[in-house]
């Protein structure tokens, strides 16, 4: 298998995994209507009857991050730094899924809840690092021409805006809603990167 075919396959896997966890999140909101999205966090779906699907979503997120990072690294030195960030993100989100969260109403965290929160802390910050790195790469070389990729820049800015809203108290309505806004940006950001890799590898 040549390098372009490998990059294409890894990027296709990343896009598929990314869209899979987004669809899983959407289904969980329909299936578990007792979970108030304005007050409950996404990881709390593991505590519901559909918890198995949330575990699957975590696995898809981890797989997508690892596949995207691998594709970026294999694409050449330009993608090396961003690729390493996504490999680390995939590992961190895998650990966050392995250790289930506690209910947000708990005042004392269990050991697994502490480990989940620690992994989630790094998930957020690695995604922010990836967005900053993406902004630095906002002027992309498309064949022989250099052009600004506004979808790339816009989705990276969405991630950064979501992080600020989620972590610094500028709430839309609640922590639950701002977290969903953040991960909407993450879905867009990872999908745009994957699609750009597919387009480049297909040439």
Query: What does the alpha-carbon distance between residue 65 and residue 119 come to, in Å, rounded to a whole number?
Result: 14
Tell me, rounded to whole angstroms, the distance of Cα 175 from its chain centroid: 18
Q: Which of 56-65, 77-86, 139-148, 170-179 has the lowest mean pLDDT?
A: 139-148
- Structure confidence at residue 172 as a pLDDT band (50, 70, 90): low
Three-class SS state of 124: helix
This prediction has a pTM of: 0.90
pLDDT above 90 coverage of the chain, percent: 65
H runs (alpha helix) in 76-174: 80-98, 111-136, 150-167
Distances in Å between the Cα of 198 and the Cα atoms of 13, 47, 71, 173, 201 are: 10, 36, 10, 37, 5
Query: What does the alpha-carbon distance between residue 33 and residue 151 come to, in Å, rounded to a whole number?
Result: 33
pLDDT at 145 over 60: no
Query: What does the alpha-carbon distance between residue 186 and residue 189 come to, in Å, rounded to a whole number?
Result: 5
pLDDT at 142: 44
Three-class DSSP labels, 168-194? CCCCCCCHHHHHHHHHHHHHHHHHHHH
| More confident: 87 or 172 | 87
């Amino acid at each position: 298998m040549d390098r372009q075919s490998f990059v294409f396959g890894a990027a296709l896997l990343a896009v598929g995994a990314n869209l899979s966890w987004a669809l899983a999140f959407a289904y969980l909101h329909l299936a578990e209507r007792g979970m108030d999205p304005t007050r409950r966090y996404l990881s709390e779906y593991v505590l519901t009857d559909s918890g198995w699907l949330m575990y699957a979503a975590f696995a898809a997120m981890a797989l997508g991050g690892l596949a995207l990072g691998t594709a970026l690294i294999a694409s050449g030195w330009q993608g090396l730094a961003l690729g390493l960030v996504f490999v680390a993100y995939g590992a961190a989100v895998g650990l966050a899924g392995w250790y289930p969260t506690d209910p947000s109403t708990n005042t004392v965290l269990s050991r697994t809840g502490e480990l989940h929160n620690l992994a989630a802390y790094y998930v957020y910050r690695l995604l922010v690092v990836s967005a900053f790195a993406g902004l630095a790469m906002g002027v992309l070389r498309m064949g022989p021409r250099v052009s600004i990729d506004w979808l790339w820049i816009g989705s990276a800015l969405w991630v950064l805006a979501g992080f600020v809203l989620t972590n610094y108290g500028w709430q839309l309505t609640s922590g639950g809603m701002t977290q969903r806004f953040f991960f909407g940006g993450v879905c867009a950001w990872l999908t745009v990167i994957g699609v750009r890799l597919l387009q480049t590898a297909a040439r």
